[in-house]
Amino acid sequence: MLRIKRDLAYRRIAEELFIVDAAKSELHELNGPAAVIWEGIASGKNGPGIISDIVSEFEVDEKTARADLAEFTEELLRQGLLTNANS
Amino acid sequence: MFRGDAGAARGIRKRYGDFSGGRKPVFLFEVNFKDRKQNPYKPAINLKNGSVRLKRGDFDCIVDTGTGAGRLEINPSQQSFDSFLRTLYSWILIRCGGCMLHSAGIVKNGKAYIFLGKSGAGKSTLSKLAAASSGCPAGRPALGIEVLSDEINLLRFEKGSFRVYGSPFWGEMRNEGRHGSWPVGGFFLLKKAKANRLGDCTKSEALRLLLRCLVNFDRSPETAGNVLRTAARLLANARFSRLEFTKKDAGFLELV
The CA distance from B207 to the nearest CA of chain A, in Å, is 8
Cα dihedral B69, B72, B77, B79, rounded to 10, equals -70
Check pLDDT > 90 for residue B60: yes
User: With an 8 Å Cβ cutoff, are A9 and B221 in contact?
Assistant: yes
* 3-class SS of residue A41: helix
Model confidence band, residue B83 (pLDDT cutoffs 50, 70, 90): very high
Whether the CB of B9 is below 8 Å from some CB of chain A: the reply is no
* H-helix or E-strand spanning residue B161: strand B161-165
Check pLDDT > 70 for residue B137: no
What per-residue confidence (pLDDT) applies to A22?
A: 84
User: With an 8 Å Cβ cutoff, are A18 and B221 in contact?
Assistant: no
* H-helix or E-strand spanning residue B202: none
What is the tens place of the pLDDT at every residue in B158-191? 999 999 999 999 988 888 888 899 999 999 999 9
* 3-class SS of residue B248: coil
Asked whether the CA dihedral B129, B135, B139, B143 is positive or negative, the reply is negative
Q: What is the mean pLDDT of residues B144-160?
A: 93
Q: What is the pTM of this model?
A: 0.88
User: With an 8 Å Cβ cutoff, are B204 and A10 in contact?
Assistant: no
More confident residue, B5 or B71: B71
Please, which residues 16-75 of chain B have a Cβ atom closer than 8 Å to chain A?
Answer: none
Q: What is the mean pLDDT of residues B10-24?
A: 84
Asked whether the CA dihedral B207, A16, B89, B58 is positive or negative, the reply is negative
What per-residue confidence (pLDDT) applies to B9?
A: 85
Model confidence band, residue B23 (pLDDT cutoffs 50, 70, 90): confident
What distances in angstroms separate CA A77 from CA A4, A29, B133, B227, one per listed residue?
A: 9, 16, 54, 25
Q: Residue B56's CB: how many other CB atoms inside 10 A?
A: 23
More confident residue, B118 or B234: B234
| Rg of chain B (C-alpha set) | 19
Check pLDDT > 60 for residue B138: no
Whole-angstrom Cα distance, residue B210 to residue B190? 12
What per-residue confidence (pLDDT) applies to B7?
A: 84
Q: Spell out which residues of chain A touch residue B208, defining contact as CB-CB under 8 Å.
A: 27, 29
What per-residue string of b and e applies to B149-177 under the rule 16 or more CB within 10 Å gives b?
A: bbbbbbbbbeeeebbbbbbbbbeebebeb
Model confidence band, residue B17 (pLDDT cutoffs 50, 70, 90): confident
Check pLDDT > 90 for residue B25: no
Check pLDDT > 60 for residue B139: no
How do B69-74 and B28-33 pair as beta strands?
parallel
Among chain A, residues having any CB pair with chain B shorter than 8 Å are 6-11, 13-16, 18, 20-23, 25, 27, 29
User: With an 8 Å Cβ cutoff, are A11 and B211 in contact?
Assistant: no
What is the tens place of the pLDDT at every residue in B204-248? 899 999 999 999 999 999 999 999 999 999 999 999 999 999 988
What per-residue confidence (pLDDT) applies to A15?
A: 82
CATH architecture, range B99-255: 3-Layer(aba) Sandwich (3.40)
**A–B interface: beta-carbon pairs under 8 A:** 52
Domains and CATH numbers, chain A: 2-84 (3.90.930.60)
* H-helix or E-strand spanning residue B234: helix B221-237
Please, which residues 197-256 of chain B have a Cβ atom closer than 8 Å to chain A?
Answer: 202-204, 207-208, 211, 218-225, 227-229, 231-232, 235
| Rg of chain A (C-alpha set) | 13
The CA distance from B38 to the nearest CA of chain A, in Å, is 22
Q: Which of B15-24, B78-87, B177-186 has the lowest mean pLDDT?
A: B15-24
